[in-house]
């Protein structure tokens, strides 16, 4: 999963540092380095825009952020590549956790995304999108064990 290591209320939540989980790492997953800016076509014109975090032009790695409000001052500086289409209420909830200086969530309020839904079927209309209880976690573990057993038999 990915940890959200920086939260600035009414502006953005940031994650994607798979190396150090604190914003100091997170090079390109394949090469470890950075990669060039792509298109600046998508604008930071609303909450829920998903965009690359960087340290200047052509310094994209694995870190990204989700806007909590219109942030036009980022246009042309950060490559936006998507928008939260379901679950923005969960992102807003994330933005309200208690943080330390610098926007880092306090230790007992870590935010980690373990399943973003990519490749999964859409949620049913009545399904709670930010359900995170022991039952759902245990169910996921059982599914993984079943897959491993099936592979061993083959």
Catalytic positions, please?
6, 11, 14, 54, 65, 74, 78
Per the rule left: phi > 0, alpha: psi between -120 and 50, beta: everything else, 22 is alpha
Is 66 in contact with 12 (CB distance < 8 Å)?
yes
SS3 content of the chain, % helix, strand, coil (to 5): 20, 20, 60
């Amino acid at each position: 999963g990915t940890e959200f290591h920086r939260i600035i209320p009414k502006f953005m939540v940031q994650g994607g540092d798979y190396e150090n989980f604190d914003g100091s790492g997170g090079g390109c997953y394949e090469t470890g380095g950075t990669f060039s800016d792509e298109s600046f076509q998508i604008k930071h014109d609303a909450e829920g825009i998903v965009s690359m975090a960087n340290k200047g032009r052509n310094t994209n790695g694995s870190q990204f952020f989700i806007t909590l409000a219109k942030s036009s001052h980022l246009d042309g500086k950060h490559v936006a590549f998507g928008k939260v289409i379901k679950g923005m209420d969960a992102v807003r909830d994330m933005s309200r956790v208690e943080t330390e200086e610098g926007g880092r969530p306090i230790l007992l309020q870590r935010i980690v995304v373990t399943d973003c839904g990519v490749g999964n079927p859409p949620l049913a209309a009545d399904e709670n999108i930010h359900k995170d209880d022991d039952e759902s976690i245990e169910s996921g573990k059982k599914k993984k064990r079943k897959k491993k057993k099936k592979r061993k038999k083959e």
